[in-house]
A = this chain, B = another copy of it.
Amino acid sequence: MSAELWPDVQPDAARRLMLAAVESFASRGYHATTTRDIAGAAGMSPAALYVHFPSKAALLFAISESGHRQTLTLVESVADRDESPLDRMREIVEDFVAWHARRHTVARVVQYELQALPEKEYAVVADLRRRIEHRVRDVIAEGVEQGVFTVSDVRTATRAVLSLGVDVARWYTERVNTTPKALGRDYAELVLRMLGATA
Which of A9-17, A42-50, A158-166 forms part of the interface with chain B?
A: A158-166
Identify which of residues 8-35 in chain A touch chain B, using a CB-to-CB cut-off of 8 Å: 27-32
Residues of B within 8 A of A134 (CB): none
| Bound-state Cα–Cα, A170 to B153, Å | 21
A110 within 8 A of B: no
Please state the number of chain copies in the assembly. 2
A40 is an interface residue with CB less than 8 A from chain B: no
Contact B196–A152 (Cβ < 8 Å)? no
Q: Which residues of B contact A27 (CB under 8 A)?
A: 115
Contact of A190 among B112, B160, B183 (CB under 8 A): B160
Residue of B at shortest CB range from A29?
A: B29
Query: What is the bound-complex CA distance between A166 and B164, given in angstroms?
Result: 10
**Chain B residues near A156 (CB, 8 Å)?**
178, 183, 186-187, 190
Asked whether B31 lies within 8 Å of A170 as measured between CB atoms, the reply is: no
Chain A residues at the B interface, C-beta cutoff of 8 Å = 27-32, 111-112, 115, 152-153, 156-157, 159-160, 163-164, 166-168, 170-171, 178, 183, 186-187, 189-191, 193-196
Given contacts A28-B29, A156-B178, A166-B170, 16 further A-B contacts (CB under 8 A): A28-B31, A29-B31, A31-B31, A112-B112, A156-B187, A157-B190, A160-B187, A160-B190, A163-B163, A163-B164, A163-B171, A164-B164, A193-B193, A193-B194, A193-B195, A193-B196
